[in-house]
A and B are shown apart, each in its own frame.
Chain A
Amino acid sequence: MNNITKQLSENIYTRSDFYREAALLKEFLEHSFFSKSPAKPSKRALKAFLKAKEPDEFENNSYAILELGDEFFEQFGQDNFYDLFKESEKEMEMLPFVALYMPVSFSQKEIAMFGKWFRENVDENIFLDVKVDVDIVAGCTFVWKNMHHDMSFKKLLEEKKNEVVEIINRSVKQEA
């Protein structure tokens, strides 16, 4: 696995986050190597770059790339970083992923919890595609290996429909 992919996947669990943070990182490296005042890329320089780029969202956003150590940046030079990112994106396309539909929009903390669960129970290199579907009510549905699986409360209610109707009818009769 490419070093960028490997390092980013330690703290990133969704493909959208991966592409978003990889794009920020690449932009930071471009800034570092090709600006009017080139500087050696580092964790501190990255933090300053992000704060300057997204001043309003910086405090609220959590950036996985800020968890990277300084040694991570040492592998990049102005001649190789494009190729390394290109290779990483290609790898990303080959890695397994699961489309996960949930009733609410979760924070990075919960997403990380789900991601870890998938990497521990399904595949260590798996990434998620997280989507929101309010009709699910509770629980989740997901597409794994082109097969849709419904583990939602809605599905549970459909399966237990007769029992629910029976309970309600019983209650109605008792009241009558």
Chain B
Amino acid sequence: MESSFVYIFALTLIILTILIVVFLILQLRNSGQIQKLAYPIYDYTVKKAQRKAQSIIQDAKENAKTMLADAELQSIKIISEGKIETKDIRESYRKKVDELAKELESSFVQHSRDAEKVYSEYSELFQKRFEERVQSVEKNMEDLAGQFSSAFSEIKEEGKNRINEQIDNEVKGVKDLVDAYKKERMSIIDEEIVTLVEKTTSTVLQKDMSLKDHADAVMRALENAKQQNIFS
């Protein structure tokens, strides 16, 4: 507190000194023009001012020294008081710390108990939930196994049906193929029969038919053509 006062005072003094110096410079510059006319007055005034200033400065210095000494004394006093106060504060602090430690320990113990209790409860809950979950999973697994078994049976049945259907289709395809082949072969055989009949008949007819028979056949053919109106 005392030390702050000393600093403020010293600062005020310095500012005052600077203001004085500035004032003097300004005065000197303003009075430069009339220097020649009023030099003696100026000189006297300046010197007087200088003396006054020196006197003021001297007073200020002394005051400052006095103030510094007071401030130093005050600070020493404050420091010594502070040491005493610090000791008290330390004691109080230690006491507070001890109290706080005890409270903290008590709180910690309480929290530990609470935590243990919560952990225990949570553990029980977890155990319960876990068992429920396991049971649920087991049930789901059993359901899934049942569904899988059912689906597998369906797939098996479907596959069986599909295979049977495929076999039936294959058999039908082969049968159709055989039928088509048979039909084609029968058609070829029929053609061959007709060709055979034709050749046999031709041979027999050419051998056995007389000229008159042939002539009669021609006449019958022409009559047939006439009946079919081919010549009209």
Considering the chains assembled together, what is the distance between the CA atoms of A14 and B220 in angstroms? 20
Interface status of B163 (Cβ within 8 A of chain A) = no
Asked if A7 lies at the interface with its beta carbon under 8 angstroms from chain B, I say: no
Task: Tell whether B127 is near chain A: CB-to-CB under 8 Å.
Answer: no
Question: Is there contact, CB below 8 Å, between B214 and A104?
Answer: yes
A121–B226 touching, CB < 8 Å:
yes
Residues of B within 8 A of A34 (CB): none
Task: A118 to B193: give the CA distance in the assembly, Å.
Answer: 36
Contacting B194 at CB < 8 Å: which of A102, A103, A110, A158?
A158
- The stretch that binds A, out of B38-46, B74-82, B200-208, is B200-208
A117 at the interface (CB under 8 A from B): yes
Contact B220 A139 (CB under 8 A): yes
Partner of B198, one of A114, A117, A154: A154
**Does B222 lie at the interface of the complex (its beta carbon under 8 Å from any beta carbon of A)?**
yes
* Cβ of B102 to closest chain A Cβ, rounded Å: 125
Residue of B213, B218, B224, B225 near A102 (CB, 8 A) is B218
Pick the residue among A135, A140, A161 that contacts B221 (CB under 8 A): A140
Tell me the minimal C-beta distance from A73 to chain B in angstroms.
34
Contact of B217 with A161 in the complex, beta carbons under 8 Å: no
What B residues does A142 contact at CB under 8 A?
Answer: 225
User: In the complex, A142→B213 CA distance in Å?
Assistant: 19
- Residues of B153-197 whose CB lies within 8 A of A: 190, 193-194, 197
Interface 9-mer from A40-48, A75-83, A145-153: A145-153
Query: Of B201, B215, B222, B224, which one neighbours A137 at CB under 8 angstroms?
Result: B201
For residue B199, give the distance in angstroms from its CB to the closest CB of chain A.
Answer: 9
Which residues does chain A contribute within 8 Å of B141, judged by CB atoms? none
CA distance A118 to B194 in the complex (A): 33
Q: B211's contact among A107, A144, A158, by CB below 8 Å, is which?
A: A107
**Size class of A's contact patch?**
20 to 34
A113 near B219: Cβ-Cβ < 8 Å = yes
- List of A residues within 8 angstroms of B230 by Cβ: 144, 149
Cα A113 to Cα B220 in complex, Å, equals 13
B211 touches A102 (CB 8 A): no
State whether A134 and B206 are in contact (beta carbons under 8 Å apart), knowing that A122-B231, A149-B230 are contacts in the complex.
Answer: yes
Q: Which of A107, A117, A135, A158 contacts B219 (CB 8 A)?
A: A117
A140–B218 Cα gap in the complex (Å)? 6
Q: A153 to B205, Cβ gap below 8 A? A: yes
Q: Are A164 and B221 in contact (CB under 8 A)?
A: no
| A153 surroundings in chain B (CB, below 8 A) | 201, 205, 217
CB-CB under 8 A from A151, the residues of chain B are: 221-222, 224-225
Contact status A152-B221, CB under 8 Å: yes
Does B125 sit within 8 A of A, measured CB to CB?
no
Task: Kindly state whether residue B21 has any CB partner on chain A within 8 Å.
Answer: no
Determine if A106 is an interface residue (Cβ-Cβ < 8 Å).
Answer: yes
CB B183 to nearest CB in A, in angstroms, measures 13
Q: Which residues of B contact A104 (CB under 8 A)?
A: 206, 211, 214
Judge if A50 is at the interface, Cβ distance under 8 Å: no
Is B19 among interface residues, defined by CB-CB distance under 8 A?
no
Q: List 9 A-B contacts (CB under 8 A).
A: A107-B211, A114-B222, A134-B202, A137-B202, A138-B217, A153-B205, A153-B217, A157-B197, A168-B193
